[in-house]
Amino acid sequence: MDDEVVREWRVVEQEPGVVLLDGFHPLKHALRFRGGVRRVLTGDRGALLGLAGELAPDVVSALEGLAVEVSEERLRGLVPRLHPTGVIALAVRPSVAANREVLGRRPRRAPVVVLENPRNLGNVGAVIRLAAGFGATGVVTTGDLDPWHPTVLRGSAGLHFATAVERVGLAELPSGPLYVLDPEGTDIRDLPFPDDALLAFGTERHGVSAELKARADELVAVPMQPGVSSFNLATSVAMGLFHWMSGKR
């Protein structure tokens, strides 16, 4: 039985657009936000359903129809590092066209977060989790990092499915006024963000590129004590989104 289940898993994971959900929380959010969950494997089906009943009763019925129990040894052979919740799943991510349609739709009721050439998978996941929590329209990244990488999905707790997440080139950014976070900019406390803004953030080490700064409609600075080099990327995004949200009261 386990052999057949593993063979089916291997076939599905090669299909276009299929992503790995590693752990209960990414799976929970994929189910909750209508991600196309195709396979769910667990080392203990009863424990998984019990956990869902405790933390997310709304997804229990879906899990009852999807969850298949296999040995922990088989699970560990399918992923680099098994999550402590002992569950893995495969889901189909939204298409690039669908996400770009969401990101490009105007007027927008919430900003799009732009991460220029991010390097840390965990930081990107944390940003996506923040964006979903604040109700941002989406998160776009530039550069080589895959924003749908399994580590990013783990960091976001699967909240990719609650917002639009895509990788684009600078020339492909959604339309809208571009607010770039940079130490040379206007104090963020003096500058409200419109709902359809693009809020752009660079890397912690290098900041934003000259090309992105040249395209900015506004440069925005977050006050920082002398001698402090930078804020964590996710912290900076949180401050930017909270500033936008605070202006809507």
| pLDDT tens per residue across span 209-218 | 999 999 999 9
- Residue-level pLDDT at 203: 82
Q: Is the dihedral of CA 33, 239, 112, 150 positive or negative?
A: negative
pLDDT of 206 above 80: no
- Residue-level pLDDT at 141: 97
| pLDDT tens per residue across span 118-162 | 999 999 999 999 999 999 999 999 999 999 999 999 999 999 999
CB-CB contact of 118 with 124 (8 Å): yes
pLDDT of 249 above 80: no
How many CB atoms within 10 Å of residue 204? 17
Helical pair 24-32 and 45-55, crossing angle rounded to 10 deg: 60
Residue 67 gets which letter from DSSP? E
d(CA 179, CA 215): 9
pLDDT of 234 above 90: yes
d(CA 159, CA 24): 12
Q: Torsions phi, psi of 141, nearest 5?
A: -120, 150
CB-CB contact of 119 with 185 (8 Å): no
Q: Torsions phi, psi of 175, nearest 5?
A: -75, 160
| pLDDT tens per residue across span 80-117 | 888 999 999 999 999 999 999 999 998 999 999 999 99
pTM over the 0.75 mark: yes
The band of 16, judged by pLDDT with boundaries at 50, 70 and 90, is: very high
CB-CB contact of 142 with 156 (8 Å): no
pLDDT of 247 above 90: no
The average pLDDT across 190-196 equals 95
- Residue-level pLDDT at 202: 92
Task: Give residue for tokens 């088989």.
Answer: 74
The band of 205, judged by pLDDT with boundaries at 50, 70 and 90, is: confident
The average pLDDT across 50-57 equals 97
